[in-house]
Amino acid sequence: MRYLVISDIHGNIEALRAVMAFVRRKKYSGVLFLGDLVGYGAAPNQVVDTLQRLRGLVCVRGNHDKVCSGIEEGYNFNDKAKIAADWTFEKLSMDNLKFIREMPRGPVRVNEKIVLSHGSPANEDYYLFSEFDAFQVFNRFSTHMMFFGHTHVPCVFDFDGTTIHFRRLLDRDVVHLDPTHRYLINPGSVGQPRDRDYRASFLIMDSDAEKLYYYRVHYNVEAAQNRILAEGLPYHLAARLSFGV
């Protein structure tokens, strides 16, 4: 099976459309989405509509999905994130609000080899940054491949049973997966990268060939920024898109 793996779109339809245009010529049979459809960006309905049309979709919810749909209050959000979440809640159509509220909580098992989560598989809201964080997950889960998002940083934690090897992903990287190892894999963020590269980030995973193909694509950042500013959302949410932070 070949899967398109995406995460953290955050209401950025320009970035999502660029990704989908790029993969139109790539063969994949399913889509794995790791949460945070909405929040920050100013095109929540367009993003939800687009995701729902993708074939073979398996998804988990993210922390912004919970707050933007009213499942949680967002007391731990900063002021700009909370303003965007409240705005998103008011803008979402009833059908799209229902879809977000019904997104499953991670971890979600795709098959015997693959598990999805937004944050750590041990807790959907925990950030997974370090080898120590990864070790705690590997100590609790025996799944071959675990995909996660939340940090917006594309990377792979590779555990050979003794040592965890960390790898930051760069555009057009190909990662060969050892069937005797276990992996925690983050495709980065489609709509709001935070690794100082503004381009949309995602990967294609070929489970038969045991390979990951990692990509970055340019998108119309100015159009995404103009949407945010036109809706009166905080300037910071638009400005950060130019810098990948």
The reported pTM is: 0.97
Distance, in Å, from the CA atom of 97 to the CA atom of 94, rounded to the nearest integer, reads: 5
Phi first, then psi, for residue 159 (nearest 5°) are -110, 115
Q: How far apart are CA 99 and CA 30, in angstroms?
A: 19
Cis status, amide bond into 107, omega within 30 of 0: yes
Where are the chain's structural domains?
Answer: 2-242
Within 18-113, strands assigned E span 30-33, 57-59, 108-109
What pLDDT tens digit does each residue of the chain (245 aa) get? 999 999 999 999 999 999 999 999 888 999 999 999 999 999 999 999 999 999 999 999 999 999 999 999 999 999 999 999 999 999 999 999 999 999 999 999 999 999 999 999 999 999 999 999 999 999 999 999 999 999 999 999 999 999 999 999 999 999 999 999 999 999 999 999 999 999 999 999 999 899 999 999 999 999 999 999 999 999 999 999 999 99
Could you list the beta-strand ranges (E) of 134-236. 145-147, 155-159, 164-168, 174-176, 182-186, 200-206, 211-217
Q: In terms of CATH, what superfamily is 2-242?
A: Metallo-dependent phosphatases (3.60.21.10)
Please state the φ and ψ torsions of residue 68, each to the nearest 5 degrees: -65, -20
Nearest to 35 by CA among 141, 177, 190: 190
Burial of 27 from C-beta contacts in 10 A (0-12 / 13-18 / 19+): exposed
